[in-house]
Amino acid sequence: MDEALVRVLTPQVLAVLVRRGADFAAAEDAVQDALVEALRVWPADPPRDPKGWLVTVAWRRFLDATRADVARRRREDLVDEEPGPVPDVDDTLRLYFLCAHPSLTPSSAVALTLRAVGGLTTRQIARAYLVPEATMAQRISRAKRTVSGVRFDRPADVATVLRVLYLVFNEGYSGDVDLAAEAIRLTRQLAAVVDHPEVAGLLALMLLHHARRDARTASDGSLVTLADQDRGRWDTVMIAEGVVILQAALARDRLGEFQAQAAVAALHADAPRAEETDWVQIVEWYDELVRLTDSPVVRLNRVVAVGEADGPRAGLAALADLDPALPRYPAVAAYLHERDGDGTKAARLYAEAAGRAPTLAERDHLTRQAARLNARSGPT
Amino acid sequence: MAKYLLLKHYRGAPEAVNCVPMDQWTPEEISAHIRYMEDFADRLRETGEYVDSQALAPEGLFVRYDGEGRPPVTDGPFAETKDLIAGWMVIDVDTRDRAIELAGELSAAPGAGGKPIHEWLELRPFYGVPPTITE
């Protein structure tokens, strides 16, 4: 059986059953049964319409299971209705919103989305997150229990779905599943079924970041900052696609957080050399982002942009308004002091920043920065 | 989602509130203590927050390279004053607050007299995978 086809079809068939009123967990069981049946029947007798075949078999399984289940008798009313045809796009969308339900914790929402919408196996998801398969299986089955019985009678919140997809994207990758690529694939699907400028904004943002991924780490795994990246290694086709999507979204004049972030990323991607970056425009986008999110992290990023646009003194002045307890605050302070010519202070701050770095790659990078300055200014 | 290491110390951590050494507990108290920790791990398996846990034997050594052609130098078994890790548990949770909450729960394992030990557990976050968004 064609594995890629199954991965595409499974969520679609699941979505049809959920839309027809099947409980999420029961629907998944029925779809699994149908897949097992397909494995048996298809090699000898391939169907002309694989999706229709799977829907028919899965729905029959669901009816059988429901009728057999006395405790679930109340569903008899529901199964006796003959389901009428409904546009396909509606179904997949419903699955996105179900998986991003606000009653789920972020990690459960992510796991359920990868399983139900992405069609990944529990093992693949567990490997990607470096937890035991049994742990991930529990996360997913708890999530299924949480959303069981949730009905969709009111418009769901697109922002929640986008947040879940962005979490998947930022999780990086390990094992045999590239979660960033998976997030892009799912966001593309979402963009095809929902008309919302922020969906386009998120897709553009992911593409623009993903296009630079290869250049972001050196061959030894160490971090390469934006200014030092080999821009010849950026994926220009992906950048161009991201920019086109972003421009179409911006033209609709309904600005949101993801569009603004994508605009910043696009300005970086647009510069042939780091020195040619349009920092003045980047500061303007950060002003928009501060207005939209009021996030302290955004304010800190804005300080970096101000430092580039108006010089390190202006950056340090803007930094003075922020809380020193912010993550990466000492790293930004170190960078600005170095550019302002105070290597000693910068070295001390880089060392402090290394101690507070959230990732190993970042810690090593900051430690090297401190060492570089100490080697230059220290006694020989 | 972030992973945290819960480190249990034989020695080296600040003294527990209920600090009677384990060899002076009753066998029932010891069983209750172990059962508490197993139940705790089982609950985390169910919530999808469990990653790994292992107990460590106390007879550890420090080992050091001692120059070309010479056997490594060893130091130990440890003197009383040295830090000694009894075991660890790795959890994968949504927030730091949740990690603290769980560590607090584990620290309440029953000891002598069936009363919580109130032992100090060391809580250490893992470094994350490199985030995609660094610029």
pLDDT in tens, A110-151: 999 999 999 888 999 998 888 999 999 999 999 998 888 776
Q: What DSSP element (H or E) covers B9?
A: strand B2-11
Distances (CA, A) of A131 to A15, A107, A134, A147: 27, 12, 8, 23
Q: Judge whether B41 and B53 are in contact, CB under 8 Å.
A: yes
Closest by CA to B1, choosing from A15, A126, A245, is A126
Beta partners for residue B50, in sequence order: B91
Nearest to B131 among A108, A359, A363 (CB): A359
Nearest to B130 among A111, A130, A361 (CB): A361
Q: Does B132 touch chain A (CB under 8 A)?
A: yes
Q: With 80 as the cut, is the pLDDT of residue A320 above it?
A: yes
Q: With 90 as the cut, is the pLDDT of residue A80 above it?
A: no
Q: Judge whether A298 and A285 are in contact, CB under 8 Å.
A: no
pLDDT digits (tens, 9 = 90+) for A163-187: 999 999 988 655 678 899 999 999 9
Tell me how many degrees the CA angle B88-B106-B76 measures, rounded to the nearest 5: 35
How many helices, marked H, and strands, marked E, lie in chain A?
20, 2
Q: What DSSP element (H or E) covers A113?
A: helix A106-116
One pLDDT digit (tens) per residue for chain B, 135 residues: 889 999 999 888 899 999 988 888 999 999 999 999 999 999 999 999 999 999 888 777 888 888 899 988 888 766 555 678 889 999 999 999 999 999 999 999 999 999 999 999 999 999 876 555 544
| Residues from chain A contacting residue B48 (CB–CB below 8 Å) | 107-108, 111, 131, 135-136, 138-140, 142
Closest residue in B to A365 (Cα) is B130
Six token digits for residue B83? 């830090």
Give the side-chain half-sphere CA count within 13 A for B3.
Answer: 18
Q: What is the ipTM of this complex?
A: 0.78
Nearest to B133 among A105, A170, A174 (CB): A170
Distance CA A253, CA A54 (A): 42
For residue B114, the 8-state DSSP code is G
Q: Judge whether A285 and A208 are in contact, CB under 8 Å.
A: no
So what's the pLDDT on residue A74?
58
pLDDT digits (tens, 9 = 90+) for A328-353: 999 999 999 999 999 999 999 999 99
Distance CA B92, CA B50 (A): 6
Which residue is it, tokens 């010891």? B30
**pTM for the predicted model, two decimal places:** 0.85
Closest residue in A to B129 (Cα) is A359
So what's the pLDDT on residue A112?
94
DSSP letters, B37-102, are HHHHHHHHHHHT-EEEEEE--S---EEE--STTSPPEEE-SPPTTS-EEEEEEEEEES-HHHHHHH
Distance CA A261, CA A89 (A): 28
Neighbours of A177 (CB within 10 A): 19
Closest residue in B to A181 (Cα) is B132
Instruction: Give residue limits of the domains in chain B.
Output: 2-56+84-125
Q: Does A123 touch chain B (CB under 8 A)?
A: no
Q: What is the mean pLDDT of residues A204-208?
A: 97
- Residue ranges of B 90-109 with Cβ closer than 8 A to chain A: 92, 94
Domain B2-56+84-125, CATH number (from 3.30.750.24, 3.40.1110.10, 3.30.70.1060, 2.40.30.10): 3.30.70.1060
For A217, list phi and psi in degrees, rounded to 5: -125, 145
pLDDT digits (tens, 9 = 90+) for A225-261: 999 999 999 999 999 999 999 999 999 999 999 999 9
Q: What is the mean pLDDT of residues A30-47?
A: 91
Q: Does A210 touch chain B (CB under 8 A)?
A: yes
So what's the pLDDT on residue A380?
46
Distance CA A311, CA A94 (A): 49
For residue A109, the 8-state DSSP code is H
State whether A132 and B52 contact (CB < 8 Å). yes
